[in-house]
Amino acid sequence: MTTTVEVATVPSTDTPGTCIYLHHDKRSYIFGQVAEGTQRAFGSRKIHMGGTEHVFLSGSIGWNQMGGLIGYLLSVGGAIDAAKEHTVTENVKRKAKGQKLLTPAIHGGIGVHGGDNLCHILAACRPVIFRQPISVRPHEFREDPRSIDPTKTEPDWVDDAVRVWKVPAKRARSSSPPKRRHEEISNGNGGQSQDQTSKRRSAISDPEVAGMIVERIMFSGSLNNRSVLLPRKIRDLKPTDKAVIINGKTMRVYRGPFASDDVELSNPDLTAWVFPDPGDNAGDGKNEDVLAINHFPLPKTAYGDTSMSYIVKCHDRRGKFNAVVAKEHGVQPRDFKLLTAGQSVEGKDGKVVTPDMVLGERQPGKGIIIADIASPDFLESFLERPEWESPEMMEHICVIYWILGSDLTSDARIKKFIEKRPHIKHIFCSQDTCPNMITHPGAAEIQTKLRRIDPERFPLPKFDNTIKHPALPAGSPIEFGRSGKKFQLMPRLTFDDQAMAPFPDLLGAAKSVDEELITLAEEAKAEATNAEFLARVEETEKDIPNRDAEIIPLGTGSSVPSKHRNVSATLIRVPGIGNYLLDCGEGTLGQIRRAFDAEETADVLRNLKCIVISHVHADHHMGTASLIKAWYEQSIRDGTSTTLAISCIGRYRNMLEELSQVEDLGFHRLRFPSCPFPNGKDRDMTTAEDLGEENFGLASIKRIPVPHCWRSYGTQLELTSGLRIAYSGDCRPSSAFAQGCKGAHLLVHECTFGDDKQDHAKAKKHSTMAEALSVAREMEARRTLLTHFSQRYSKADSLKRDRVHGEEHSVLLAFDLMRVKLGDFQKAACYVPAVQKLMEKLAD
């Protein structure tokens, strides 16, 4: 059996974390960080996610380390569900033909391993993740197995393919995460003071309640489970029940005693609350006395102070079977397999033949180390670990992957550690040693071709193929990490540098645009710069405010990120007022950094005023935590105390608050105009009076329920300048939304399916292109941007609409990283024929 190790991601704009993919013939494992953008990177590089059975998160647990994990788990779950559906469909055909039926593949679920607060972060996402077709088993490491006995060499976790030792490092006491300034106190509009919610907790919470929520509610492996707890008297509880006692709003695990213990119960009539078993649809009855799990907060936790690294080794393997020797001993061929399985057999003259007589020398299991050191705070603790001085544990280690924070690549202490172990290959994975290269070449090449047609609206993505770290001397055991860097660990150690991801040839992509398209582009430019045309534009748009407002679609795909489109996010920059973000799917911050250079990214963040979360489907909001944190860190660098509005439902607010217990996201600086009071009633209309002086450039926020999932909203932002922006989120066509936003200057509407997929649109509660345009007409929207396309339209070749010349109501299709000003929609429309022709050619 073959075991390979591959660098799946390294630090870049698209993938801020390092992810190591270990593949065995039986299953796959992830080690390192599953940061935002990981699942999209796997898709672009065609790395199979479906075989993943265990994820070992390194470092200090936070959103940076695991912001992409939820999306990764959902994608694996989706692959499992699709495989099941395929088997059912195929077996119907086979049964009709009298053929042998396929045996459904059984996926045992995914084990997720990590340090402090792993379960808390996963369970904090329960308002938005539930009833998934994949089971997840979290394993939160709290004990250091070698703190008592440093000579203990037994693995901390083992299966039939690999052995794993966890190596925790403790943060230096003097460098704990800083508390916020005491004077950073919110006003009454939705924030909380540091003393109330933002101060650092004294203890990390027991992970058991959160772990139960993850296993029994969120990722139970069943689509039938509901997010409820079932009542049961203490006297009726069984030791096998997963139950909690609720005191006030606090949940704690009930561990006994039980009636079966044959002891007197102090309060047998007390009600406990039991988690349903996976697949149990209990709680479906309308009159059942159940508790919704989302109504109760998680036990409060504290910032973690542990950074996890790992030693990973394959098992030893038997030596090669020598058939010639076996025959010399008179072993019958039918018994060969018994010998290879470790059993003795009878040879000639009744002589017992043992495996060691016919097998070659045993192959020791080779291994790797994942060394995650985000800051100097953890370095001394890491270097002092007893594992590094254990000959048995360090034996047969071939590669160390160093996941390092800023400036640690030149630290003398790390260099000394490496000098003592020159026989090991040391691979540095950090921002200093990895080029910020394009992660998704397919998307970048399309963007480059679009730029040849319309350079004003399609800038090149920002990238840098150089490495900041000084060149290494000849013979150095250090190498720099690069996506695709791969080697075979077992049975023979071989390195394959040819597998490294190449730098995309964007110049070649630009040159490949043929003359027909260039001619169409020149015709479009002539039309868009015609004096009479520009005069008509000025006349028809003179009543539109903020014509210099710029719309930047950051993610235009639906459901999951793909190689060509990221998931939902649309940035609107209004000069002199601020920036507004319509949804914030996973990887949105990376898309911002691909669209803008460092200086302009800082400007986007510092002037961000409001994020709208339309609904709780994961593809619309899993990038929010990282974006909020980046905004907050920018405000700290600027020395300001600005605030940020989040238009969302109360449950989403609660999720952000619970995530902020693990790391400082700047929650105390957030305002929630649509759910201003914790656990209070949401409001669908927020007026200027409600917003007060801290108005975020907004005159009002209007939310209109639309037909999609639970609590889905279309939203209208009315700016203080009078500009009105209507955003559909995901939905079927809604007359209420159209009428409620009548005359909006800009409509951003979902267009998930082409007109030939009407049935799909109805079944999934989305809109076709014709339906989206009908909403625009009923709304009398002045400008319309269509977005949120099914990933089946990877290059938009199947999304076409007839252009109506002279149509004042201009409509554009969105592309990732496209930039168009509100006053330039009619100019951009001139290029539509050339863009549409390019998409047709790309589809051929």
* Per-residue pLDDT at 805 exceeds 50: no
Note whether 684 and 737 are within 8 A (CB). no
User: CB neighbours of 222 closer than 8 A, spacing ≥ 6?
Assistant: 131, 133, 278, 279, 280
Tell whether 746 is covered by a domain.
yes
Query: How crowded is residue 708: how many other Cβ atoms within 10 Å of its Cβ?
Result: 23
Tell whether 409 is covered by a domain.
yes
Asked if residue 520 and residue 490 are part of one domain, the reply reads no
Q: Which residue has the higher pLDDT, 755 or 188?
A: 755
Tell whether 506 is covered by a domain.
no
Give me the torsion for CA of 218, 220, 223, 229, rounded to 10°. -70
Asked if residue 125 and residue 72 are part of one domain, the reply reads yes
Tell whether 453 is covered by a domain.
no
72-90 tens-digit pLDDT: 999 998 888 888 889 999 9
Note whether 409 and 432 are within 8 A (CB). yes
| Residues above pLDDT 90, as percent of the chain | 77
Asked if residue 607 and residue 492 are part of one domain, the reply reads no
343-392 tens-digit pLDDT: 898 888 889 988 888 887 788 999 999 999 999 999 999 999 999 999 99
Bond into 491 cis (ω within 30): yes
Q: Count of residues for the chain? A: 844
Asked if residue 342 and residue 253 are part of one domain, the reply reads no
d(CA 170, CA 10): 24
Note whether 35 and 61 are within 8 A (CB). no
Asked if residue 165 and residue 230 are part of one domain, the reply reads no
Tell whether 459 is covered by a domain.
no
Coil, strand or helix: which one is 705?
Answer: strand
Tell whether 274 is covered by a domain.
yes
Asked if residue 679 and residue 633 are part of one domain, the reply reads yes
Q: Domain range spanning residue 565?
A: 513-843
**Residue 336 in tokens:** 């060969």
d(CA 481, CA 12): 11
Name the band, by pLDDT with cuts 50, 70 and 90, for residue 770.
very high
Tell whether 183 is covered by a domain.
no
DSSP string, 513-541: S-HHHHHHHHHHHHHHT-HHHHHHHHHHT
- The predicted model gives 714-736 an average pLDDT of 98
Predicted pLDDT at 186: 35
Predicted pLDDT at 679: 80
Q: Which residue has the higher pLDDT, 199 or 51?
A: 51
Predicted pLDDT at 738: 98
d(CA 162, CA 316): 10
Task: For 694-819, list the strands marked E by DSSP.
Answer: 698-705, 713-719, 724-727, 746-750, 783-787, 810-813
Predicted pLDDT at 201: 44
Tell whether 56 is covered by a domain.
yes
Name the band, by pLDDT with cuts 50, 70 and 90, for residue 802.
low
d(CA 426, CA 477): 6
What's 686's domain CATH number? 3.60.15.10
Task: For 150-235, list the strands marked E by DSSP.
Answer: 157-158, 162-170, 228-233
Asked if residue 729 and residue 795 are part of one domain, the reply reads yes
Note whether 663 and 626 are within 8 A (CB). no
Give me the torsion for CA of 475, 478, 481, 487, rounded to 10°. 70
Secondary structure of 255-302 as H, E, C letters: CCCCHHHCCCCCCCCCEEEECCCCCCCCCCCCCCCCEEHHHCCCCCCC
Asked if residue 307 and residue 252 are part of one domain, the reply reads no
Name the band, by pLDDT with cuts 50, 70 and 90, for residue 803.
low
* Per-residue pLDDT at 787 exceeds 80: yes
What crossing angle do the helices spanning 832-843 and 441-453 adopt, rounded to 10°? Answer: 140
Name the band, by pLDDT with cuts 50, 70 and 90, for residue 179.
very low
Asked if residue 132 and residue 82 are part of one domain, the reply reads yes
Note whether 115 and 141 are within 8 A (CB). yes
Asked if residue 650 and residue 586 are part of one domain, the reply reads yes
Total count of domains within the chain? 4
Note whether 23 and 6 are within 8 A (CB). yes
Instruction: Taking the CA atoms of 703, 657, 298 and 617 in sequence, report the sign of the dihedral they define.
Output: positive
Asked if residue 519 and residue 419 are part of one domain, the reply reads no
Name the band, by pLDDT with cuts 50, 70 and 90, for residue 335.
confident
Asked if residue 372 and residue 333 are part of one domain, the reply reads no
Q: Which amino acid is at 50?
A: G
